Amino acid sequence: VRLNDDTEQFPALTALQELIIITNAFSEGSGQPESAIRGTWEYENDAQIIKETIGYTGSEMVNQTWFNVTTQGVKIPAYYHLGQVDIDYRTALRIDGALLYGKRTVNALLIDPDTGRPIKTTEGMIPYTRRVGNEQSYTAGAFDVLEFDEMDNTLDREGAGNYILGLLGIKLHQDIENSLKTYFTDTNIIFAHKTANEVLFNSNESLAASVNFKYLTKSERTFLFKRMGVLNNPKLYGAAGYENIGPKLGLFMPINKKKDPVSGNMVESIGTRYRGLGRYNRRMEAWQVGGAGEGLKVTEFDKRDTYQRCHVGAHFRGGNQFVLMEPA
C-alpha cells in the first residue's frame, strides 16, 4: 500500500484496526482486478408442531348452558362449550409464545420417547433479534426523546427504510406516549396513515382501522406503535417478576417487502410459515374422536375428545435492522 501523496504518512495503527476504502484507481491500458469476494448468509428456521386437547364424558356433554343466538334475523337454539373456547385460546397462546420467544432446538437428546423422533422448535422474534439484530436500553419511567435519535442512528447505519413498526409492552407504550406528546401532535397523521396503509394493508382502510396504529414522525422516519396485549398477560409475560421481558419491552423493525431472488415472491420483514403440500396444509387442524355425542362414533368409550394441531414457524428478514428496546 502506497500513499498517492508522498508528503503524507499513515497515522499510528493498532492491530485489528478497521480501515475504510473509499475508491480505487488504475493506470491507462491496465487490466481488470481480481473478482471481489462477497459473503452470504443463509437464513433458516424450523417449523414447530403445537397441539392441544379437550375432552368430556357423554354425561357431561348434556350439561350445557343454553341461550338464543340470532343469525340472519332468525333466533336459533345454541349452546356454548367453554372448553372449546379454552382450547382455541390455549393454542393461540402457544403460537404466540413460539413466534415471540421460541428458541430452536439444539439439544440432540430432545427426543420424543414414544416416536423416537426429535422435537423441533422455531426461533421466535426476540431470540432472533438478540442473535442478529441490535439491543438498546432505556430508563424505565423516564423515557426520553433522545432514545429515538439513538435508534435512528442504528437504523440509518443498517440501511433501514423510513417506516418502522414498534411492537410494545404496555409500560413502554405508556412511557413513550407520556414523553412524546408534542411529537405526536406534530406528526402529519393523515399522510403517515395513508402511506403506512399502502405499505402494510394494500390500501385496505378497514384492515388498517382494525389495527389502529399510533404514529410518530421523528428524524425523517415514521414510527408506527402497536401495544402488544400478550406482553401484559398476567399468566405469561405480565406475571410478577417478568416485567422486563413483557410490559417494559419493545421491538422495532422496518415494514417493507423484498423480492425473493429464488421464488420471485415478495417477502415481508416478519411473518408466519406453515407446512403443507398440495391441498393439504397444517396451518391449523381441528377434529373430534369419540364414542359419545353427535357425529360418528369410533370408540367404545363414553366420551369425546376435541384435538387441535398446527405445524408453524416464524420467518424474519433483515434482522440487522431490528432493534430490541429493553429497560436498563
Q: Are strands 134-138 and 323-327 parallel, antiparallel or unpaired?
A: parallel
Q: What is the pTM of this model?
A: 0.82
What pLDDT score does 20 carry? 86
Q: For residues 192 and 209, what is the distance between their CA atoms, to the nearest angstrom?
A: 13
What pLDDT score does 180 carry? 77
- The SS3 call for residue 48 is strand
- C-beta contacts of 230-233 below 8 A and 24+ residues apart: 230/93, 230/96, 230/100, 231/168, 231/169, 231/170, 232/169, 232/170, 233/93
Question: Domain tally for the chain?
Answer: 1
Residue 320 has pLDDT above 70, yes or no: yes
What pLDDT score does 64 carry? 61
Q: Which amino acid is at 78?
A: A
What would the pLDDT profile of 191-217 be if each residue is shown by its tens digit? 556 666 665 656 655 655 555 567 777
What pLDDT score does 129 carry? 97
What pLDDT score does 262 carry? 80
Instruction: Find the radius of gyration of the CA atoms of the chain.
Output: 27
What pLDDT score does 204 carry? 58
Mean confidence (pLDDT) of the chain:
85
Q: How confident is the model at residue 219 (pLDDT cuts 50, 70, 90)?
A: confident
Q: How confident is the model at residue 65 (pLDDT cuts 50, 70, 90)?
A: low
Residues with Cβ within 8 Å of residue 88, at least 6 apart in sequence:
308
List the grid coordinates of 141.
419511567
Lowest-confidence range among 12-21, 25-34, 314-323? 12-21
The residue-averaged pLDDT of 112-136 equals 96
What pLDDT score does 150 carry? 93
The residue-averaged pLDDT of 259-284 equals 90
Q: ∠ at Cα 30 (26, 31), nearest 5°?
A: 105
- Domain residues for the domain of 260 are 1-328
Residue 184 has pLDDT above 70, yes or no: no
Q: How confident is the model at residue 177 (pLDDT cuts 50, 70, 90)?
A: confident
Q: How confident is the model at residue 187 (pLDDT cuts 50, 70, 90)?
A: low
The residue-averaged pLDDT of 73-90 equals 70
What pLDDT score does 118 carry? 95
More confident of the two residues 97 and 2: 97
Q: Are strands 163-168 and 250-254 parallel, antiparallel or unpaired?
A: antiparallel
| Percent of all residues in the chain with a pLDDT value above 90, rounded to a whole number | 50
More confident of the two residues 32 and 195: 32
